[in-house]
Structure 1
């Protein structure tokens, strides 16, 4: 009887611990990616990382299929024109096909559109010797004939800081377009 009581008590402890673990939510994009600093002449200007919007969730799945399942280069996911803009920002000797994509997040904007420099902190720690290019996806909420969300890609240069964070300068015109988009995504490609 004593053994049975001990076994029952042990089982209850294990089950209560499992319940406690299950009650802790998993990490989300906003848990591991954040805006560290926003520098702008417009004090109300704000760009933040937020939970993924529906078009971005679909895009992430397509990128995963393209890169992880089919084994294609991350840069090849984008239209040829976007690929050419990315390659134009790469230093000599760095091939677009060698770029990896470790980040794909949803951004939101608030305030009056202005030129803004944003410093992002990611789980991935980048090094100053790495070349980093950012691709902004602007979704208008419509779908094409194949049922895919329409997205316009805008390529921006980025800088890796000593801290491993990434600084990106957003021109006011792009910020205004981000404010008017149904959703905005940011992909980070690096060598």
Structure 2
């Protein structure tokens, strides 16, 4: 199995995790900034804020696990943060309800990446079809990051340079679009 972990000096699982992180970050930025309707951007921002706080609270809910490995005071700190998180989530959901948004809608990284990948065709007059390389890179890196055997094996059918190009290109393409959107919204 060790020989499957590296390709020409490349740490494949490490690169895969970085690639996935870049794809998620860029697709969330696009998802937040892309809609022309400010109300949709506002709703997306509230949903993402609520999701981030809920994830933080989920970490705090497991404070007993981390007490042994992180710090003995973790339980005390986690209890305080858990209460703050509950109050903040309730406040965000209240604002969402006041604006007619559904506070039950979740933010799911894979679904957002797939949604963004579908929107990339013809982006800014570009005729390139980005959906396939972005989704292929997501699936390949998911295979390595989560040890999903069928994706893991398919990724190894590629020459090392092709694998590297795919997992580096996808987050860079998405990030370039996110930066363009950021500049557009900043100057609007």
Give the TM bin, normalised by the shorter chain.
under 0.3
User: Which structure shows the higher helix fraction?
Assistant: 2
TM-score normalized with structure 2 length: 0.25
Greater Rg, structure 1 or structure 2? 1
TM-score normalized with structure 1 length: 0.25
User: Which structure shows the higher strand fraction?
Assistant: 1
